[in-house]
Structure 1
């Protein structure tokens, strides 16, 4: 595909990152944060927003030093052909691992909360095949779709919170710092890892128009993320910190709690929002892996790689252990370590190397 036909705007890029974050942070994480921070989960949400924005700025700063290169390209410039190639392969494997986990997560949600008798194969295919087809048309296609889908998801999130306000008891947030300052920090570190999906910009940067707008457009996006995280923590005001920590899907329980006249049993709306979010996430993450593979091995196209990776994810998802407690564990500490590594530690290391070697925005331009 001609690169000029596959360009996306900086706003579309930020929207893709925003959807990728919200799609994965809204399911198990409210319960996990309540488990760590208890009634102080709202503080964890605020701290995590600063962590996520810092990660975003590090990644954008690195990418703007090499605006015409993806990760596979500037890895070679900074680390050499072989070491840079190894690091690129590591990122590809990491993103395929995350994509497999997200596919499993989607099947567990749908199979547990909506259709317990259904086979996980169905849910894997239901989210993978559309994502693979749409992404094979170019990253600009899911980017344009997401421009329409993201506002709908945000409106649903806001509506769920507002409709539950009459039943909320905000005294559940008191007393603050009941167990000290450490629990909110732990909760923030757990959430902040999920905000590291800004790492996807490392593969998208060559296809972004007006890249210099990315730093400015990231701030309102992460303010939006922060507000969405705060909205998620209102489950504590509705159910209390202990019950929230024990609930599998707090957001779904908030939806099911709505019973106002004709507004009741709105589960299907939450199902649609989750399906859409996971769909967009897989579009971006699989494109990330396929695009870097194409550039790493200097291939002509990425569509065949895309479908091969889709098959790898499908096979991995179906041999994955689908125990809900185990998945909840893997989505907290192990995933947090991986995301902080690929989203913050390595990009910051590469940025420091680049500046030490004299690269700057002016020189890159």
Structure 2
């Protein structure tokens, strides 16, 4: 057995389909809820171009990381970074990557808490929602990644069906003139918007840490590319909100919720927006669960702790604490997501893996 090779907990394995579903869920579960407003502020009527550019850039970035990960298909980043750089520098790189996963998990947790506040009960302290969510997440993580993946197999198709249905119901109300004239303000605004798009899509790189659990690794590359294309299509459907509300989209905190509320389900269907938001919340729960699982599994490897389950409680407490102090309100969180996260993500999940891939290839040629 190769040193540091991951032995899936309890013999857990996930299929390529489950792996692909997780890739799609961790982006679409939160991106289509918040992202249209962000992109509209940067790209306006050309937001659809931002989605195309952002998706293409993301495919390139993710494939750089994938090339590195597939060189060590039975290990996590915290393991093979030490193989490539040696222990001191490898530990440092692994620690930086783990911190990135932790920050993204905190953002997702805080965002879910804000969704609860805005959509359901604004008077309840956000701490109540966050603590409740993390208690459920801790239970799911204790059951393992296979359980989370099976739950997602139900939620993702349901979520995609709802996304398509809402789009169809609102289609006759869409005014595509809101997208005209194309590139009136030049290419710079859609390029700025594409930075936000790729920052969200490249979160899929975190899921690549589950490669050791995938039962058919030969199909991983094709499944990742196909998943990213579907994610791009899903985000493009989210951008259609602009064709309904025009420039007013940028003023919404949850544009997807407004899009749902606008749909006409008939007089016999009331409160359907709450039901639909519940499905999206389920997707966000899956995202937090799988990210938290990867974080504490990687942390256990980083600290040489035998069982990741020993870190569920302390990790959960840390996640709750940091999620609550991460920002004072949703505006501060939105600022971080819009102006800091894109460049932070590029440094951690593109430039650092690119350097490791170069060093790994060079070492192989010199051996």
TM-score, structure 2 length as denominator? Answer: 0.93
The equivalent residue for 1:112 is: 118
For 1:189 and 1:122, how far apart are their aligned partners in 2? 33
Which residue of 258, 275, 300 corresponds with 2:263?
Answer: 258
For 1:191 and 1:10, how far apart are their aligned partners in 2? 25
Matched, 1:292 2:289: no
For 1:69 and 1:260, how far apart are their aligned partners in 2? 48
Deviation of residue 270 (structure 1)? Answer: 3.0
The equivalent residue for 1:30 is: 36
The equivalent residue for 1:308 is: 314
The equivalent residue for 1:193 is: 199
Deviation of residue 177 (structure 1)? Answer: 0.5
Deviates more, 1:265-274 or 1:7-16: 265-274
The equivalent residue for 2:4 is: none
Deviation of residue 69 (structure 1)? Answer: 1.5
Which residue of 148, 153, 157 corresponds with 1:151?
Answer: 157
Deviates more, 1:97-106 or 1:178-187: 97-106
Deviates more, 1:35-44 or 1:283-292: 283-292
For 1:223 and 1:108, how far apart are their aligned partners in 2? 29
Deviation of residue 85 (structure 1)? Answer: 0.8
Q: Is the 8 A contact 1:128 1:279 kept in 2?
A: no
Gap change, CA 1:228 and 1:118, over 3 Å in 2: same
Q: Is the 8 A contact 1:104 1:322 kept in 2?
A: no
Q: Is the 8 A contact 1:60 1:201 kept in 2?
A: no
For 1:68 and 1:6, how far apart are their aligned partners in 2? 13
Deviation of residue 359 (structure 1)? Answer: 7.2
Which residue of 171, 182, 186 corresponds with 1:180?
Answer: 186
Matched, 1:353 2:343: no
5+ residue gaps in structure 2? 1-6
Deviation of residue 305 (structure 1)? Answer: 0.8
Which residue of 149, 162, 167 corresponds with 2:173?
Answer: 167
For 1:5 and 1:144, how far apart are their aligned partners in 2? 15
Q: Is the 8 A contact 2:25 2:287 kept in 1?
A: yes
Deviation of residue 342 (structure 1)? Answer: 2.2
Gap change, CA 1:126 and 1:359, over 3 Å in 2: farther
Matched, 1:273 2:266: no
Q: Is the 8 A contact 1:259 1:265 kept in 2?
A: no
Q: Is the 8 A contact 2:55 2:198 kept in 1?
A: yes
Matches within 5 A, 1:208-227: 208-227=214-233
Deviation of residue 206 (structure 1)? Answer: 1.8
What SS does the corresponding residue of 1:331 show, helix, strand or coil? Answer: helix
For 2:291 and 2:8, how far apart are their aligned partners in 1? 21
Matched, 1:103 2:90: no
For 2:114 and 2:122, how far apart are their aligned partners in 1? 9
Q: Is the 8 A contact 2:8 2:212 kept in 1?
A: no
The equivalent residue for 2:254 is: 249
Deviation of residue 273 (structure 1)? Answer: 2.2
Matched, 1:60 2:71: no
Show structure 1 runs of 4+ deviating over 6 A: none
Matches within 5 A, 1:83-98: 83-98=89-104
What SS does the corresponding residue of 1:69 show, helix, strand or coil? Answer: coil
5+ residue gaps in structure 1? none
For 2:171 and 2:208, how far apart are their aligned partners in 1? 40
For 1:178 and 1:42, how far apart are their aligned partners in 2? 14
Deviation of residue 301 (structure 1)? Answer: 0.2
For 1:21 and 1:106, how far apart are their aligned partners in 2? 13
Matched, 1:17 2:27: no
For 1:359 and 1:100, how far apart are their aligned partners in 2? 40
Aligned residues: 360
Q: Is the 8 A contact 1:21 1:197 kept in 2?
A: yes
Q: Is the 8 A contact 1:172 1:236 kept in 2?
A: yes
Deviation of residue 264 (structure 1)? Answer: 4.7
Matched, 1:75 2:87: no
Q: Is the 8 A contact 1:47 1:188 kept in 2?
A: yes
For 2:356 and 2:324, how far apart are their aligned partners in 1? 35
Give the superposed CA RMSD.
1.8
CA deviations on 1:225-282 (whole Å, 9 max, x unpaired) are 1111111111111001x20011111110000101242345422123212211211111
